[in-house]
Each structure stands twice: as structure tokens, then as C-alpha cells.
Structure 1
């Protein structure tokens, strides 16, 4: 089962994009200090089938430019199916993962990739000290600066 929480329209997780975000249930990483421990169980949320996913995209395609998945790399084939459907709709794609690396078969379907586990002491993407990286896949450029305030 590829269960997700209900999708949300998001404005900050992918700079310069309006995203439709899906939180995938069953996260196995269990990062210390995780703010989404409710996503650790595979049983929560609702099944996201290709048909249901296409229905969401048809509903939102005129309002979004990107689809983002929070997790799901542990179900690579289902995630890849959803990424490919996103491309059919001419949408950019993003994966937020707590891993430092994901399989190439996933990366080649992404426009953006956020890697790295949450480490409270280092902070998130908005902190210069973070261990996390927000990457534009085509150029391999790290775009963390887009999350950080500069004066």
C-alpha cells in the first residue's frame, strides 16, 4: 500500500514553485526530533493509486507547477509511478528524504531533491549550519541559499 496524507498546496518547500505535496506514510528513518512521527505507521492516510493521483493532478494542474513527495523512497516503484504521471502532466517533481542518497532510478525522475536527516543541532534548510541539501537535479546545484535569509 502506498498511503499518503491528503495533499496540500505548498509555497515554501520548493523555492519559486507552487507545489502539491503528498506525505507518504510508513517512514522507516525515524529521525530523532521528527515533527511528523504520525507518518511512521504505514496504516495512516489513504491509499494513493495512479487513478486517484491523476484525479488530484487534473484538479490542481492549472494552479501548481510542482509535485512534492515527503518520503516514499522506501516504495521506489510506486514513487516512480507517481513521478512519471507527474511528468505526463508537465509538472516539476521533488522528493524530500532524510537519506543522504537515493537510487538513481528515482533521481533521474526528479527536478529537485532534498536530502539529509533532520538533526536538531544543525537545523533545517533555513540554517547555514544544516547538513541537509536542497538540490536542483539537472545542474546538481545546491539551492540552500534560497531558504536562508540574507541581509
Structure 2
């Protein structure tokens, strides 16, 4: 069962998109230095049902252009249902995962095939996030193949 801790409208996660962003609970990577350790526990959060998700899409349909899931690949069947609901409303969809793209392709090919954007790479504090030139993380537009990290450099 897919569960979320919170959601918000965000402007900076995907360049040129206004996104409804969900933080998903149950992350199994347990990265050192993670700022959201409470997201590791599968018991935390509220169920993100298709009905509740559709109500939020309807509520924000005039505002958003994209939906982001920060985690959730471990519940890929549930996530695929939500991706389809977003796509029906002509919204773009994105996933942030600590896995790399090759791991996603091997473990969750159906999920990867249904995304517009993916941010990959485990959090390594010494390397920083997308704004760091040393980062191991990559934000990719899966439709064009473009790496979008440059939008985060100052």
C-alpha cells in the first residue's frame, strides 16, 4: 500500500513545471545524512488511495502541470495506477528515487516507461544535491533524454 507523509505545490523540483509533490513513506535505502528519516518507516503516513489522489488532482487541476512522487517505487503497482490517473488529466509525472537508472530499468521497467522525469541517485551528503557539480544525482527528462541538473547550478 502506497502511503504519503505530506504533499505540497512546489515550483523548483522539476524545471518549468508547477508540481503537486508527495513524500512517500517506506523508503528502504536509509541513506546516511537523510533529512527525512521518518520516511523510512512503512507504518508512517496516510494511504494514498486512487480516490484521494483524484480529488487532489481535481482540486489543483488549474494550477499544476506535473505530479512528483518522492519515493514509492517499492509500491510500483499502486504507483502505476496513480501515474495513469495523472496522465488522463494530461499531467506530467516524475519520480525521485535513490536508485540509479539502470536499477530502475531492471527492477521497475513498467514504472520507468510511464514517467516523464526521473531523479536518480542515493543521497550522499559529501557530494550534495542537484545544485552541486560533484553530485551523483541526475534529474533526467525521460522523453527528450536531457539531463536537467544545469537548472540547479547557481
Q: TM-score, normalised by structure 1?
A: 0.96
1:89 CA displacement: 1.0
1:74 counterpart = 2:50: no
1:104 CA displacement: 1.9
Pairwise CA RMSD: 0.8
Runs of 4+ in 1 over 2 A off after TM superposition: none
- Give 1:106-145 correspondences, 5 Å limit: 106-145=111-150
Matches of 1:12 and 1:40, distance apart in 2: 24
- Give 1:21-100 correspondences, 5 Å limit: 21-100=21-100
> Per-residue displacement from partner, 1:90-136 (whole Å, max 9, x unpaired)?
10000000000312211111111000000111110001110000000
Which secondary structure state, in structure 2, belongs to the residue aligned with residue 114 of structure 1? Answer: strand
Matches of 1:83 and 1:36, distance apart in 2: 24
Task: Give unpaired runs (5+ residues) of structure 1.
Answer: none
1:6 CA displacement: 2.8
Task: Give unpaired runs (5+ residues) of structure 2.
Answer: none
